[in-house]
Structure 1
């Protein structure tokens, strides 16, 4: 059991570092900056992810009779934006990978700043220094991303060779992480059934996509990307305070259940967007 727990922690580190480093090595900095120069694009992303998402999570915890730890896990997801798998979802949906990557970078940086400020306010009894929350995310998310970007800018051939390896290791680590989280928490996950936790995770993930899709009708050029980006929460970032300051089995189990549900729903959303584009094409 101790060995499996050590492997679980190592797989989490590998997923975060390799995913962010690989994304940095594939970043087209000029295209990314051009995307981030669009005020409406940036404002919409920030409002959806740091106002709407936490508000919906809080509202769900007020309506559904969730356990304290499950409610805390959902609130963590509400403030954890910038999922590392957003570019992959954009590929599936046939949306702009550059736009998805730009949003991911913006939201990852926003999460590092936003989460330490709001967690003590949103979660009763939560006590942790802001830097203690932000430091792991800076080291595990922003630093690998920045280093990957530097490698691409200075050693483009090396970046081109290493990026697929990093992406593959990140994907394998993510699968291993979820398997171990399920294996090590199987009794807790079975106990979640019937508590409303799974329903809450589904409502939050699907609800965010639907809200964004309805609101963004006036911006069809990035409607799909923004809807996917707010629906896909950053489980890795949420696990940092869960494994650190909180250390609650119920919180971690809620994050694991939400990750499984969220990945499934987000994949279905991306497939729906792709099929919708195909139907809207002439002769489709």
Structure 2
């Protein structure tokens, strides 16, 4: 029975990643992605925060908090994988610059696909990983579906508007199924980490990444919140693809799942607080990002 559930969980990972990337592509245009990224300085600081500072934070945490090897691998995977599809929702909650959030999300995800296969063997010298396998899986499961979705959106807007909600629903269903299966398969392993250094390590990674991203996020609260949330919300999809495909120890995936739950709780609270501050600064109804959110909805209009 356990073997069957593990196979279903593996399938759920694949379905979740592919359909979430398709849904993202079907809901966006190239101009929506590239437009907010014209500020080179803002983009450079976001890349610095996500791909230099956060991995350094992870290694400082590992130096201070003793973890097992699989837990250390999971923490490093989270620290190197950026560009979470959930970011625009967090940015909308924070009443930040939603257009910039979308562009940053896609940029971080694309860079992650190239970055993780290069740096993971260097950051985990005692762990055997195949960079080409990692790169291939990320390209096939993430970039290719995203590109297909963008192409369909650009050429067949009506089709994209019809298919996108179905892909999003399939992605959400696969994610719920995945979480349930992982909880069932690894229940005692997850219970075992409660009150341990792993919780401290993961919380430290999320909070410190949020602070660093916020400080490097630019002159306004709207962009600070975007970079802060984008830096703290790591790419669980990419981490699961690499973790499930390259590491046999279930504690690696357990670490990723616990990290995902902690991120969700911490960043929803942080996003809400950012949103309250934005309203108090600009007045109710101003700077909420509603205009940008509307522009992200698929519609049969010219791109």
TM bucket normalised to smaller = over 0.9
Q: How far has the Cα of 1:261 moved from its partner? A: 0.8
**Preserved contact between residue 77 and residue 235 of structure 1 (Cα < 8 Å):** yes
2:71 pairs with 1:78: no
1:206 matched residue in structure 2: 207
Q: Counterparts of 1:70 and 1:226 in 2: how far apart (Å)? A: 26
Q: How far has the Cα of 1:7 moved from its partner? A: 2.0
2:293 matched residue in structure 1: none
Q: Counterparts of 1:10 and 1:237 in 2: how far apart (Å)? A: 15
Q: Counterparts of 1:157 and 1:216 in 2: how far apart (Å)? A: 36
2:23 pairs with 1:40: no
**Preserved contact between residue 119 and residue 126 of structure 1 (Cα < 8 Å):** no
Q: How far has the Cα of 1:221 moved from its partner? A: 4.4
Q: How far has the Cα of 1:129 moved from its partner? A: 2.7
The correspondence of residues 8-47 of structure 1 with structure 2, limited to 5 A, is 8-47=9-48
2:131 pairs with 1:130: yes
The correspondence of residues 266-281 of structure 1 with structure 2, limited to 5 A, is 266-281=267-282
Q: How far has the Cα of 1:233 moved from its partner? A: 0.4
Aligned length, in residue pairs: 284
2:295 matched residue in structure 1: none
Give the TM-score, by structure 2 length. Answer: 0.89
Q: How far has the Cα of 1:217 moved from its partner? A: 5.3
Q: How far has the Cα of 1:64 moved from its partner? A: 0.6
2:299 matched residue in structure 1: none
**Preserved contact between residue 24 and residue 147 of structure 1 (Cα < 8 Å):** yes
Q: Counterparts of 2:269 and 2:255 in 1: how far apart (Å)? A: 21
User: CA separation of 1:249/1:123 partners in 2, compared to 1, >3 Å: closer, same or farther?
Assistant: same
Q: Counterparts of 1:263 and 1:165 in 2: how far apart (Å)? A: 23
Q: How far has the Cα of 1:30 moved from its partner? A: 1.4
1:93 matched residue in structure 2: 94
Give the TM-score, by structure 1 length. Answer: 0.95
Q: Counterparts of 2:11 and 2:282 in 1: how far apart (Å)? A: 45
**Preserved contact between residue 17 and residue 140 of structure 1 (Cα < 8 Å):** yes
Deviations 1:46-90 (A, max 9, x none): 101100111111110011111221111101110011112112222
Moved more, 124-133 or 102-111: 124-133
Query: Unaligned stretches of 5+ in structure 1?
Result: none
2:251 matched residue in structure 1: 250
**Preserved contact between residue 210 and residue 227 of structure 1 (Cα < 8 Å):** yes
SS of the residue corresponding to residue 234 of structure 2 reads coil
1:179 matched residue in structure 2: 180
**Preserved contact between residue 215 and residue 224 of structure 2 (Cα < 8 Å):** no
* Greater helix share, structure number: 1
Q: How far has the Cα of 1:103 moved from its partner? A: 1.1
Q: How far has the Cα of 1:170 moved from its partner? A: 1.3
Deviations 1:233-259 (A, max 9, x none): 011211222222222222111111111
SS of the residue corresponding to residue 178 of structure 1 reads helix
2:140 matched residue in structure 1: 139
Q: Counterparts of 1:281 and 1:220 in 2: how far apart (Å)? A: 10
Q: How far has the Cα of 1:277 moved from its partner? A: 1.3
